Amino acid sequence: MAYVTKSPWVIHYDGSSCNGCDIEVLACLTPMYDVERFGIINTGNPKHADVFLVTGSVNEQNKEVVKQIYEQMPEPKAVVAIGICACNGGIFKECYNVQGGVDTVIPVDCYVPGCAARPEAIIDGVVAGLGVLAAKREAMAKGGSIPAPEAPAEEGKEEA
């Protein structure tokens, strides 16, 4: 079994979230839910992180930031979109500055819908992300790097 599933370190980025999902992400670290039981640590450094948690939709201001954090994370890595805004834009979808969900910029492995997503759902999403990490690790161990995911299609405002 790959060690990566036993010690997934997460990095959390707040896109343009209303802070509801952010509070729920941090609630996972509290004694009530205590994700460190599974070796999960909130790092704050993309170079140390295995799982990228994004809350809130992507807009023109932060799409470069999301891309950069994703690119700085070493493989194997997984992306979890938390909350309906991160999944597809949510109630902000039609705003002039909002591009949509996180998957319009980087490849997303797990979607955790909800407004706000509950801590149980977030933990479930990260655990689902572990499967992705294990599969990627296996691909790496077999030799050959992980095929670069195809660039997400530029969709949304321009067409509309």
Partner 1 sequence: MNGYVTMIIFVVAYLVLAPFVGGLLAGIDRKITARMQGRVGPPILQPFYDVGKLFEKEPITVNKVQDFYVLCFFIFILATGAFFFAGLNLLLVIFTLTIASVFLIVGAFSSNSPYAQVGAERELLQMMAYEPMVLLTAIGFYIFSGSFDVSAIVNLSGMPFFYLIGIFVGFVFILTIKFRKSPFDLSMSHHAHQELVKGLVTEYSGKTLGLIEIAHWYENIFLLGFVFLFFCNGTWWGYLIGVVVCLAAYFLEVLIDNSFARMKWQVAINSAWIVALCLGIGNLFILKFLLMV
What is the binding site for partner 1 (CB under 8 A)? Answer: 2-4, 6-7, 29, 31, 34, 36-39, 41-45, 47-48, 50, 74-76, 137, 140-141, 145
DSSP 62-83: THHHHHHHHHHSPSS-EEEEES
| CA angle (63, 23, 7) in 5-degree steps | 80
Cis check for the bond before 76: say yes or no (omega within 30 of 0): yes
DSSP secondary structure letter of residue 103: G
Q: How far is the CB of 9 from partner 1 (least distance, A)?
A: 8
Nearer to partner 1, 41 or 128 (CB): 41
Q: How far is the CB of 89 from partner 1 (least distance, A)?
A: 29
Nearer to partner 1, 85 or 130 (CB): 130
Q: How far is the CB of 153 from partner 1 (least distance, A)?
A: 26
